[in-house]
A = this chain, B = another copy of it.
Amino acid sequence: MKPNHDFTSKLKQAGIRVTPQRMAIYSLLMDYKNHPTAFMIYEQIRENFPSISLMTVYNTLNMLADRGLINVLGHAGDDSVHYDADIEPHVNLACISCHNIVDINSKYVNQMTNEINSTSGYQLFGARVLFYGNCPACQNQSRSH
């Protein structure tokens, strides 16, 4: 596996040792925009990396989250935690039928973040902004059942 210097330097900067497993997990989360769960990541990576264990996926995700390199979105109508490599505050839109999560642009998120940063008195680490409902595809399915 050839080292991807983008990820390598990011991990090193955060004081995390570079391993093939961590590179694979981190870069998958950066490349795919689908806000996966630990198990979804595990299944994807296993195709190119058959010996990886689910424990390594959890360890890596926890480590990346602790250092602030990724964001923990929480549940999306299912019962496992979804992750997001985009740590800039932004609006996520979850479908509680198909459990997909997509990003959506909003011009108000930055203003809201600045407002909370300056007025709350909290030392902020991140934001979890998630609206939920039914996506267009799932609305059609339930209409024509």
Hey, which bits of chain A sit against chain B, CB under 8 A? 72, 74-75, 81, 91, 93, 95-96, 104, 106-109, 111-113, 115-116, 119-136, 139
Given A108-B115, A111-B108, A112-B106, A120–B125 Cβ distance below 8 Å?
no
Residue in contact with A116 in the complex, picked from B104, B115, B122, CB distance below 8 Å: B104
Copies in the complex: 2
Quick check: A130 and B132 within 8 Å, CB to CB? no
Q: Is the CB of B133 within 8 A of A122?
A: yes
Known contacts A75-B81, A127-B130: does B120 contact A112 (CB below 8 Å)? Answer: no
Q: Which of B91, B115, B122, B126 contacts A135 (CB 8 A)?
A: B122
Known: A126-B131, A132-B128. A91 touches B112 (CB 8 A): yes
Bound CA span A130–B129, Å = 6
Question: If A108-B108, A108-B111, A108-B112 touch, does A120 touch B127 (CB 8 Å cutoff)?
Answer: no
Contact of A133 among B107, B124, B139 (CB under 8 A): B124
Contacts of A96 in B (CB 8 A): 125
Set B74, B104, B108: member contacting A75, Cβ < 8 A = B74
In-complex Cβ contact of A93 among B109, B120, B132, B139 (8 A): B120
Would you give the shortest CB distance from A99 to chain B, in whole angstroms? Answer: 14
Q: Is the CB of B127 within 8 A of A122?
A: no
Q: Are A115 and B122 in contact (CB under 8 A)?
A: no
